[in-house]
Amino acid sequence: MRYFSDLFRDVFQIAYVTEDIDEATSYFESTLGTVKCDTHYGSNLGGLVVVDGEPVDEWVIDVALVNAGPTNLEIIRPVSGAVDLYRAGIRPGAPATFHHLAFRADFDEASEALAACGKQWKQYGHIPDAIRFGYVDLTAELGHHVEIMDMEPSTIDRFAELERLSNLPR
C-alpha cells in the first residue's frame, strides 16, 4: 500500500449505527430484502480495545452482520463503556445511520500509510486469533469513519459464510 487512498479500491464493508438493533435488522431484512442478519448481543470482543490512545476497560456493542454478495453490511448498537465513536453518529428515530466504510488490509501497512498522511487511529483493537482493527476519524473531512480490518483465517471464513448465505435462493 503506497497511499491511504489505495484502501478505497476495494470496499469490504458498509457499516451503520443504530439505537435499536432489532428495528435495524428488521428494516434490512424486510425492507431492503437481505437474508437474516447474524446478530450478537452484548459483544465485548474479548480482546484489547484502545480509544484515543488509552486502553479501555469496558467496550460493549450489539452487532449484526449480513452480506449482499461480497459486500458485508454491519449494524452496530453501542451498549456501554467507551463506545462514543458509534453513539455520536446515531440519528434518533432512524432505523440506521451510515457510519463507516471498512477495508481489508495489513494492519501494520495501514498504520504506516495513516501516519504518512498525518492521521492516527481514533480507536483500534485486537481480538486474538480473529482480527486486528482500527478506525480513522474522517468525519470532518469526508463525513464518516474508515475501518481497517486485518483478519485471521477463522474470521475470513466467517465472512465467506455470510457471503455464501446471501447468494442462496430466497
The Cβ of residue 162 has, within 10 Å, a number of other Cβ atoms equal to 19
- In single-letter form, the type of residue at position 60 comes to V
Give the closest residue to 99 by CA, choosing from 111, 114, 109, 88. 88
Predicted structure pTM score: 0.95
For 132, residues 6+ apart whose C-beta sits below 8 A from its C-beta are 107, 124, 125, 126, 149, 150
82-90 contacts: CB < 8 A, separation 24 or more?
A: 82/49, 82/51, 82/56, 82/58, 82/123, 83/59, 84/51, 85/51, 85/122, 85/123, 85/135, 85/137, 85/145, 86/17, 86/61, 87/17, 89/17, 90/17, 90/18, 90/19
Ordered by where they begin, the domains of the chain are: 4-166 (3.10.180.10)
- List pLDDT tens digits, range 18-70: 999 999 999 999 999 999 999 999 988 777 899 999 999 999 999 999 999 99
- List pLDDT tens digits, range 138-166: 999 999 999 999 999 999 999 999 999 99
